[in-house]
A and B are shown apart, each in its own frame.
Chain A
Amino acid sequence: MQPEDIIAAVNAVFVEQFEIDPADLLPEKEIFRDLGLDSLDIVDMMVGLQRTFGISLRQNEELRQIVTLGDLHAFFLKLVEENPDLAAKLQKK
Chain B
Amino acid sequence: MPKTRVVITGAGVISSLAHNRQDLLAALLNRACGVRAMPEWADTLPPDTVAAPVTLDQDAVMKIDRRFRRSMGPAALFATLAAAQAVAESGLSEDILGSGRAGCAVSSTMGSASSIMESCSLLLQGRQDYISAQQFFKSAAHTAAFNVANAMGLRGVQLSPCSACASSLQAIGVAYEQILLGRQDVMLAGGSDEVTPSVTLTFQQLFAQAENKENRPPDQISRPFDVARTGLVCGEGAGIVVLESLEHAVSRGARILAEVTGYATMSSGEHISQSDQRAIGRCMTAALADADLRPEDVDLVSAHATGTRQGDAEEAAALRDLFGANTPVSSLKGHLGHTLAASGAIELVAVLEMLAQNIIVGTKNLTAAGPDCAGLDHVQANRPASIGTFVKNSFAFGGVSAVLVGKAFA
**Which residues of A are in contact with B by a Cβ distance under 8 Å?**
18-19, 40-41, 43-44, 47, 50-51, 56, 58
Contacts and interface: CB of A to CB of B under 8 A. Distances in A.
Nearest to B127: A51
Contacts of B206: none
Nearest to A40: B133
B187 to A, nearest CB: 28
B134 A58 contact: no
B66 A47 contact: no
A2 B134 CA distance: 33
Given A18-B66, A19-B66, A51 B134 contact: no
23 contacts: A18-B66, A19-B66, A40-B70, A40-B133, A40-B134, A41-B70, A41-B133, A43-B132, A43-B133, A44-B70, A44-B132, A44-B133, A44-B134, A47-B129, A47-B130, A47-B131, A47-B132, A47-B133, A50-B129, A50-B130, A51-B130, A56-B129, A58-B129
Contacts of B66: 18-19
B198 to A, nearest CB: 24
Nearest to B132: A44
**What is the predominant secondary structure among interface residues of chain A facing chain B?**
helix
Interface of B: 66, 70, 129-134
Contacts of A50: 129-130
A45 B1 CA distance: 57
Given A18-B66, A47-B130, A47-B131, 20 more contacts: A19-B66, A40-B70, A40-B133, A40-B134, A41-B70, A41-B133, A43-B132, A43-B133, A44-B70, A44-B132, A44-B133, A44-B134, A47-B129, A47-B132, A47-B133, A50-B129, A50-B130, A51-B130, A56-B129, A58-B129
Contacts of A47: 129-133
- Most chain B beta-carbon neighbours within 10 Å: one of A40, A43, A58: A40
Contacts of B70: 40-41, 44
A43 B134 CA distance: 9
Contacts of A18: 66
Contacts of A19: 66
What 8 A-B pairs come out closest when comparing CB atoms? A43-B133, A40-B133, A44-B133, A44-B132, A19-B66, A50-B129, A56-B129, A47-B132
A47 B131 CA distance: 7
A81 to B, nearest CB: 23
Contacts of A40: 70, 133-134
A50 B131 CA distance: 11
Nearest to B133: A43
Nearest to A45: B133
A19 B66 CA distance: 8
Contacts of A44: 70, 132-134
A44 to B, nearest CB: 5
B276 to A, nearest CB: 45
Nearest to B136: A40
A20 B66 CA distance: 10
A58 B132 CA distance: 13
A51 B131 CA distance: 10
B119 to A, nearest CB: 13
A48 to B, nearest CB: 9
B62 to A, nearest CB: 9
A47 B134 CA distance: 11
A56 B131 CA distance: 13
A44 B133 CA distance: 6
Contacts of A51: 130
A22 to B, nearest CB: 16
A87 to B, nearest CB: 20
B222 to A, nearest CB: 39
B263 to A, nearest CB: 37
Nearest to A48: B132
A44 B66 CA distance: 14
Contacts of B130: 47, 50-51
B65 to A, nearest CB: 10
A39 to B, nearest CB: 8
Contacts of B133: 40-41, 43-44, 47
Nearest to B62: A19
Nearest to B71: A40
A89 B132 CA distance: 22
Nearest to A51: B130
A40 B70 CA distance: 10
